[in-house]
Chain A
Amino acid sequence: MKNYIKYLPFLALGVISCEPEFDTPIDEAGFYSNGEADFSNYVALGNSLTAGYADGALYLTGQENSYPNIMAQQFAKVQETQLFTQPLVNDNAGGLLLAGTQITSNRRVLAFGPDGAPAPRVYTGMQPTTDITNVLSGSFGNMGVPGAKSFHLITPNYGDVSGVPVGSANPYFVRFASSPSTTVLADAAAQNPTFFSIFIGNNDLLSYASSGGTGVDQTGNFDPTTYGSNDLTDPMVFASAYSTIVNTMVGTGADGALVNLADVTSLPFFTTVPNNALVLDAATAANLTGFFQAVAGIFAQGAIQQGVDPAVAQGLAAQYALTFNEGPNRFLIDVPVSQTNPLGFRQMTADELLVLTIDQTALAQGYGSVVLTPEVLQVLGLLQTGGQPTQAQAQLVLGAVSGLDDKDALDKDELTAISTAQANYNATIKALAQANGLAFVDAQAVFKQVATQGVPFDGGVLTTAFVTGGFFSLDGVHPTPRGYAYLANIVLDAINTTYNSTVPKVNIGAYKTITLSNEVQ
């Protein structure tokens, strides 16, 4: 009897090995459908947005939350898939080294100052350890290369470390290029993907935009090897590169999704600092108005003295007699000196934008308006009493005008150049998606919706507000994990619609937003 009893527990274990089974277990084959697509070998092409770049750097947890990685995890719930691989960096500091010398900045974190005010700061809690001379072996499903423009994906030697110091190669691609001479596209196609996504072209717009339009609009120049890093890519160059990429990927027999390009006005990098952040009390406003009356007067007088027709001189001077009111006022911006604007500044117009990186301290000290030094105020007092300023005093007044530099603003011409190029690029993307029967993701519309209305989710509303909105990380351009999760969901939506698949979407509320740390200097 005892012999028998001692086997009882084993008998019990045998019985219980049947775990509880759902009526319709979602982790069994067939619950979700891959439809007409095959997600078993997914390759993502793109730039920093594809790589999972955030907070101004590429770091581990950012990569883990890249939208291709989120999508790949969902694909794995639908069918048997190959492990999705990413060229992971070494750490969560971000920042790259080239032979031991740091060449890109660490990530940003939200730090609280002694006054309790939060601000994005560069994280200094640990040293970056990712040296690009340590080239990773193997192939990678995530082929996102931060900084890459459309034509870079088909540019040979883009992963050649010797080209990094001169800017002809990309330090991120150096890390995982299969050879120094290969192209991003070649390495992607060589993986024989069954499914791909392409999200490229953002930098063709953004490098120009985030430089405040200091680059050149290269529309009409079909040779990208002559482009500077901040230039706006010619739409034909974009179309040529993009169709090469799409045709090559489609040529592998794979299905895929194309993602179009969002408006710069959807990015907090361009919308956080309003162009009317010059907030004045009544006295200062009156002072400034008086100042610019003086400027107009000095200009007219000088012009007349130089022989300009008084009527013309008065007409030109009128543009400088700016009035300022109590409350918010638009900043001044420097423009090229011209016949119609001989002093080379004007007030910004309603739709013009400032960049996030503008020097806030300088703004507080008169950058974007007037640096009212005691000397300048003294001249103003002289003018008010009807006195006649000397040449030096007049120059002092004119020199006190401090318009914003081109690098800190996107003026209306620059915005037009950007949106024209963007419309051309997006038309190319949509046409190629339709021509090849690929899923088309209207990221432009989606980003716009987040920016204008916000997207409700189970823990609140996702918006593009800087720091607090949840969608964008602390660089104002790249999403947070939650933003990337939302992006993954909309790409999955388009895929499900196009390929009749039922890939489940993620709950974006479960993805984090910005990272807090006071380990900053």
Chain B
Amino acid sequence: MKKLLFLAVFMLATAVTYAGGYRVSLQGQRALAMGHTGVAVVNNAELGFFNPAGLVYLENRLNVSAGGFGVLADIAYQNEQTGDVARVNSSVGTPFYLYASYKVTDWLTAGLSVYTPYGSGVEWEDDWAGSHLVNNIDLAAIYIQPILSLKLNEYFSVGGGPIYVTGSVNFNKNLNRTLSDIEGNRSEVTVDASGVTNWGWSASAMFSPTDNMRIGFNYRSEIILEAEGGDADFENIPNSPATPFADTKFNAELPLPAELAVGFSYEFCDKWLFAFDYNQTFWSVYESLDIDFANPAIPDSQNARMYEDASTYRFGLQYEANDMFSLRAGYYFDESPVQEGYFAPETPRNDSNNFTGGFSVNVNEHLAIDASFLYIRFKEVDASYDFYFENGQAVPFSGTYKSSAFVPGLGITYKL
């Protein structure tokens, strides 16, 4: 267990994941295969993320689910006026999850969940056309959450628990569009903070009015990652009193927004299960990415974001072909939190259509292998970021973006 966690953390450290906003909806193979629905699905320990209240309905005493994903994402940028073209290095990241639950009594289940709901990795070519906004960013957050799930009666259960978050961020951008040292190397800054921690919580409920229908509700609180005393490393600064950019410390806040999920599931024809989830992510907390440098001679970096709350509509279907195989498919529509004029290439996200599929293979009565895939298709979009300033004048960065991502995942479900 400890070894697995270590391995997972290590993988995350090198992960470059694709994410819109920076929410990474990859919290379970079975859920993802069904359009990442799950707030009203009682299937396996993935409930430890989707709806802790449902854990108490799992039949086995011990339930464990673990897995990871490879993220193969591509972002392309072009500007017809100038002929500039950029493609983000295709990269493989590994978001992961680990859920365990233990039925203490018929009406009480305890659990532990470890998952990575936020993260981002975009690595543009250094000094590309938008390098004054971002060269590369790597954001990771691990949620660790002890859980209690309580059955109040035959129809109704509640669950939840405190969340401990540890996160890291590494962000590099050029200082502006033109500043460089005598050799022509562009002046840049890297801000790096790791081991940033904070607490939050989640609470959930599940209502099962009939044998084949469930209704779920889950709320996960907002958690602000407050990076204090991170390292700001300035490179390629001209040797001039007019550019006093020396390495210093910085403070910054990055919000991991609250999320609300409601949904229902319905079993029909014995082998079929339909699920629908509605998610609201409260992105409006993300107004600005402000980096306060400790050195007073260095102007602070203020980057307006003005995200809006965003909705996601998820649909999933499961078919239990036989004792060995379960097949799943799903679709979700993911609304972008980014307003017009705030399209920053650090999280180049517009509305997306998402197609999912997957299956489980029961190796024996205890162990199942779960596989899933996700294909994210973004519409081509002409967008701009209008809140970068030079000498007090707004200098929009615009172009056409087109993104796609393919995310294969593999995991196991163990029950005893």
* Residues of chain A within 8 A of B395, CB atoms compared: 458-459, 509
Q: Does B81 touch A at the CB level, under 8 Å?
A: yes
* Residues of chain B within 8 A of A22, CB atoms compared: 76, 78, 380, 400, 402
Contact A505 B239 (CB under 8 A): no
Contact B238 A515 (CB under 8 A): yes
Nearest residue in B to A109 (C-beta to C-beta)? B182
- Chain B 371-416 interface residues, beta-carbon cutoff 8 Å to A: 371, 373, 378, 380, 390-391, 393, 395-396, 400, 402-404, 406, 408, 410
Contact A459 B80 (CB under 8 A): no
With a 10 A CB-CB cut-off, give which of B182, B183, B378, B403 has the most chain A CB atoms. Answer: B182
A61 to B380, CA, bound (A): 36
Contact B404 A515 (CB under 8 A): no
Q: Does A302 touch B at the CB level, under 8 Å?
A: no
Contact A12 B81 (CB under 8 A): no
Q: Does A499 touch B at the CB level, under 8 Å?
A: no
Nearest chain B CB to A79 CB, angstrom units? 12
Contact A517 B239 (CB under 8 A): yes
Pick the contact of A116 from B74, B82, B241, B406 — CB < 8 Å? B241
Q: Does A77 touch B at the CB level, under 8 Å?
A: yes
- Chain B 340-386 interface residues, beta-carbon cutoff 8 Å to A: 361, 363, 369, 371, 373, 378, 380
Q: Does B85 touch A at the CB level, under 8 Å?
A: yes
Contact B177 A20 (CB under 8 A): no
Q: Does A311 touch B at the CB level, under 8 Å?
A: no
Contacts known (A125-B239, A511-B178); A5 close to B369, Cβ less than 8 A: yes
Using a Cβ cutoff of 8 Å, how many contacts connect chains A and B? 123
Contact B238 A517 (CB under 8 A): yes
A482 to B178, CA, bound (A): 10
Contact B70 A12 (CB under 8 A): yes
Q: Does A359 touch B at the CB level, under 8 Å?
A: no
Contacts known (A12-B70, A20-B74); A26 close to B373, Cβ less than 8 A: no
- Chain B 207-223 interface residues, beta-carbon cutoff 8 Å to A: none
Nearest chain A CB to B244 CB, angstrom units? 11
Contact A123 B182 (CB under 8 A): yes
Pick the contact of A8 from B177, B178, B239, B371 — CB < 8 Å? B371
| Contact code string B230-264 (vs A, CB < 8 Å = 1, else 0) | 00000000111111000000000000000000000
Contact B85 A27 (CB under 8 A): yes
With a 10 A CB-CB cut-off, give which of B180, B184, B238, B402 has the most chain A CB atoms. Answer: B184
| Contact code string A393-423 (vs B, CB < 8 Å = 1, else 0) | 0000000000000000000000000000000
Pick the contact of B80 from A26, A109, A509, A518 — CB < 8 Å? A26
With a 10 A CB-CB cut-off, give which of B75, B178, B390, B404 has the most chain A CB atoms. Answer: B178
Nearest chain B CB to A428 CB, angstrom units? 34
| Contact code string A5-32 (vs B, CB < 8 Å = 1, else 0) | 1001101110110011111011100001
Contact B82 A504 (CB under 8 A): yes
* Residues of chain B within 8 A of A16, CB atoms compared: 72, 74, 90, 406
A521 to B183, CA, bound (A): 19
- B: interface residue count bin: 35 or more
Q: Does A60 touch B at the CB level, under 8 Å?
A: yes
Pick the contact of A19 from B70, B243, B371, B404 — CB < 8 Å? B404
* Residues of chain B within 8 A of A23, CB atoms compared: 380
Contact A519 B403 (CB under 8 A): no
Q: Does A516 touch B at the CB level, under 8 Å?
A: yes
Nearest residue in A to B396 (C-beta to C-beta)? A458
Nearest chain A CB to B305 CB, angstrom units? 21
Contact A505 B82 (CB under 8 A): yes
Q: Does A64 touch B at the CB level, under 8 Å?
A: yes
* Residues of chain B within 8 A of A512, CB atoms compared: 178-180
| Contact code string A120-162 (vs B, CB < 8 Å = 1, else 0) | 0001010000000000000000000000000000000000000
Contact B179 A20 (CB under 8 A): no
Pick the contact of B240 from A12, A27, A64, A111 — CB < 8 Å? A111
Contacts known (A20-B75, A112-B242); A504 close to B371, Cβ less than 8 A: no
Contact A21 B402 (CB under 8 A): yes
- Chain A 496-521 interface residues, beta-carbon cutoff 8 Å to B: 504-507, 509-513, 515-519
Contact A1 B182 (CB under 8 A): no
Q: Does B87 touch A at the CB level, under 8 Å?
A: yes
Q: Does B296 touch A at the CB level, under 8 Å?
A: no
A64 to B395, CA, bound (A): 24
Nearest chain B CB to A148 CB, angstrom units? 25
Contact B182 A515 (CB under 8 A): yes
| Contact code string B61-99 (vs A, CB < 8 Å = 1, else 0) | 000000000101011101111110101001000000000
A448 to B369, CA, bound (A): 74
- Chain B 284-327 interface residues, beta-carbon cutoff 8 Å to A: none
Known: A26-B85, A512-B180, A516-B238. 20 other contacts (CB 8 A): A1-B363, A8-B371, A16-B72, A19-B74, A20-B402, A20-B403, A22-B78, A23-B380, A25-B78, A92-B183, A109-B182, A112-B242, A458-B395, A459-B390, A459-B395, A460-B391, A509-B177, A510-B177, A518-B239, A519-B182
9 inter-chain pairs at a CB distance below 8 angstroms, sorted by A residue, are A9-B70, A16-B74, A19-B90, A19-B404, A20-B74, A21-B402, A125-B182, A504-B82, A517-B239
Enumerate chain B interface residues (CB-CB to A < 8 A): 70, 72, 74-76, 78-83, 85, 87, 90, 129, 177-180, 182-184, 238-243, 361, 363, 369, 371, 373, 378, 380, 390-391, 393, 395-396, 400, 402-404, 406, 408, 410
